[in-house]
Amino acid sequence: MSDYKKTDLNKVIRGSKRATYDKVAIAAILKQNFIAHVSYIYENQAISIPMSYGFNTDEIYLHGSLKNRMLTSILKAEKASITVMQLDGLILARSAFHHSVNYHAATLFCSVSEITTRQEKYNALQNIIEQMIPNRWGSLRPISDKELDSTLVLKLKIETASAKVRDVGVVDNKEDLDFPVWAGVIPIKQVAQDPETDTLLAKNIEVPKHVLDYVEKNK
Amino acid sequence: MSDYKKTDLNKVIRGSKRATYDKVAIAAILKQNFIAHVSYIYENQAISIPMSYGFNTDEIYLHGSLKNRMLTSILKAEKASITVMQLDGLILARSAFHHSVNYHAATLFCSVSEITTRQEKYNALQNIIEQMIPNRWGSLRPISDKELDSTLVLKLKIETASAKVRDVGVVDNKEDLDFPVWAGVIPIKQVAQDPETDTLLAKNIEVPKHVLDYVEKNK
Q: pLDDT at residue B8 above 90?
A: no
What is the reported pLDDT for A205? 96
Going from the C-alpha of B11 to that of each of A67, A100, A218, B4, B71, the distances in angstroms are 15, 34, 35, 10, 26
Q: pLDDT at residue B124 above 90?
A: yes
At B31, the amino acid letter reads: K
The alpha-carbon gap from A2 to the nearest alpha carbon of chain B, in Å, equals 24
What is the reported pLDDT for B10? 86
The 10 Å CB-count burial string (b at 16+, else e) for A34-66 is: bbbbbbbbeeebbbbbbbbbbbbeeebbbbbee
How confident is the model over B34-82, as pLDDT tens digits? 999 999 999 999 999 999 999 999 999 999 999 999 999 999 999 999 9
What is the reported pLDDT for B1? 61
Question: Are the beta carbons of A191 and B195 separated by less than 8 Å?
Answer: no
Q: Which of B79, B92, B178 sits opposite A45 (nearest CB)?
A: B79
Average pLDDT of chain A, as a whole number: 96
Dist CA B2 CA A34 (whole Å): 34
Dist CA A129 CA B100 (whole Å): 9
Residues of B in contact with A69 (CB under 8 A): 13-14
Above pLDDT 70, what percent of chain B? 100
Transcribe A130-161 into DSSP letters: HHHSTT-GGGSBPPPHHHHHTEEEEEEEEEEE
Alpha helices in A79-208, H assignment, sequence order: 118-132, 145-149
The 10 Å CB-count burial string (b at 16+, else e) for A98-129 is: bbbbbbbbbbbbbebeebeeeeebbbbbbbbb
Q: pLDDT at residue A1 above 90?
A: no
Those residues with Cβ within 8 angstroms of residue A158's Cβ, 6 or more apart along the chain or in another chain: A4, A58, A59, A60, A108, A109, A110
Dist CA A79 CA A9 (whole Å): 13
Residues of A in contact with B46 (CB under 8 A): 39-41, 46-48, 80-81
What is the reported pLDDT for B7? 87
Higher pLDDT: A169 or A14? It is A169
Q: Which domains does chain B have, with CATH numbers?
A: 16-188 (2.30.110.10)
Question: Are the beta carbons of B186 and A202 separated by less than 8 Å?
Answer: no
Q: pLDDT at residue A14 above 80?
A: no
Above pLDDT 90, what percent of chain B? 90
From A1-5, B107-111, B175-179, B194-198, the region with the lowest mean pLDDT: A1-5
Q: How confident is the model at residue A8 (pLDDT cuts 50, 70, 90)?
A: confident
Transcribe B117-181 into DSSP letters: SHHHHHHHHHHHHHHHSTT-GGGSBPPPHHHHHTEEEEEEEEEEEEEEEE-------GGGTTSSS
B61 forms beta bridges with B54, B155
How confident is the model over B132-168, as pLDDT tens digits? 999 999 999 999 999 999 999 999 999 999 999 999 9
